[in-house]
Amino acid sequence: MANHKSALKRIRSNEAKRLRNRYQHKTTRNAIKALRELTDKAEAEKAFPGIVSMLDKIAKNNIIHKNKAANLKSSLSKFVASL
């Protein structure tokens, strides 16, 4: 167990950040899944900018790698264009 006050605080803050990162990542994955299940082009085009924003945000915070975010955005934009 940690002996210093700062180490105890670091444990608490790491857990809070871990939970926040998990929430953001899971929310983004669910949004991507919902977009891929859409069949209406107008709905997909409406939802796409929000998902791109979510991907940019989690990539900026190093929850996912920036190249993974770019690859996801590319594949999703191809999907929306193909509807």
Residue 30: what pLDDT?
A: 98
Secondary structure (H, E, C), the chain: CCCCHHHHHHHHHHHHHHHHHHHHHHHHHHHHHHHHHCCCHHHHHHHHHHHHHHHHHHHHCCCCCHHHHHHHHHHHHHHHHHC
Residue 3: what pLDDT?
A: 82
Domain map (residue ranges) of the chain: 5-82
How high is the mean pLDDT in each 10-residue block of the chain (83 residues)? 87 96 97 95 96 97 97 97 93
Would you say domain 5-82 falls under CATH 3.40.1280.10? Answer: no
